[in-house]
Amino acid sequence: MLLTRGNTNFPDDGSENISAYKKWKQINAKAEFILKRTISFDLFDHIIKCKSAHEIWRTLDRLFNKKNEARLQILENELANTTQGNISIAEYFLKIKNLCSEISLLNSEEAISEARLRKIIIRGLKPEYIPFVTSIQRWAQQPSLEEFENFLSSQELLDKQLAGVFVK
């Protein structure tokens, strides 16, 4: 005969196994108690019917992984739709880098390479920077992402200075 609790089976064939089962049962009851008393009210409904600490952890894992997947999808969509708009080059780079960092934290397997990051950044730049970017892309040695940001920031500053000269 097997004694079953949660996902753990103990053979009912001796006092040693019964003792181990009783010890497991005590530890499990304490873990269940702690988990159920410390969990937020919003999550409590999800775990109230769980019969073991193991089942509570599995339920929480499924629940949070589902939320992480949804959050990951939201971040991927935001990254795909991010454009420079009216923000500076520095702000735009920071925004893209932050989104990529958050995506990497949620799913390290989908870490965004520097090459992909560069393509994402270029895709969202204001149209007036495309000729400048095209000239850089023709270089034999491509600049690092940091150098690329510095070149674009310098170009942005130059454009502002020239716009000021033309207005006067």
**pLDDT tens-digit series, residues 14-60:** 677 888 888 988 998 888 888 888 877 777 778 888 888 888 888 88
3-state helix, strand, coil in the chain (%, to 5): 75, 5, 20
pTM of the model: 0.59
Q: Which amino acid is at 54?
A: H
| Residues 131 and 55 placed together within one structural domain of the fold | no
Residue 100 lies in a domain: yes
Share of the chain above pLDDT 90, in %: 33
Residue 71 lies in a domain: no
Quote the pLDDT of residue 106. 81
> d(Cα 118, Cα 100) in Å, to the nearest integer?
11
| Residues 163 and 90 placed together within one structural domain of the fold | yes
Residue 91 lies in a domain: yes
- Of the listed ranges 5-9, 98-102, 116-120, the one predicted with least confidence: 5-9
Residue 75 lies in a domain: no
- 5 has a pLDDT exceeding 80: no
The domain in which residue 34 lies consists of 2-65
> d(Cα 44, Cα 60) in Å, to the nearest integer?
10
| Residues 53 and 90 placed together within one structural domain of the fold | no
Domain count, the chain: 2
| Residues 54 and 110 placed together within one structural domain of the fold | no
CB of 75 closer than 8 Å to CB of 143: no
**Chain segment 41-54, per-residue pLDDT in tens:** 777 778 888 888 88
- 149 has a pLDDT exceeding 90: yes
Residue 25 lies in a domain: yes
| Residues 102 and 147 placed together within one structural domain of the fold | yes
> Which domain-ending residue is among 33, 65, 97?
65
What are the two backbone dihedrals, phi and then psi, of residue 11, each rounded to the nearest 5 degrees?
A: -70, 140
What are the two backbone dihedrals, phi and then psi, of residue 122, each rounded to the nearest 5 degrees?
A: -60, -40
List Cβ<8 Å contacts ≥24 apart for 33-38: none
- 1 has a pLDDT exceeding 50: no
| Residues 158 and 86 placed together within one structural domain of the fold | yes
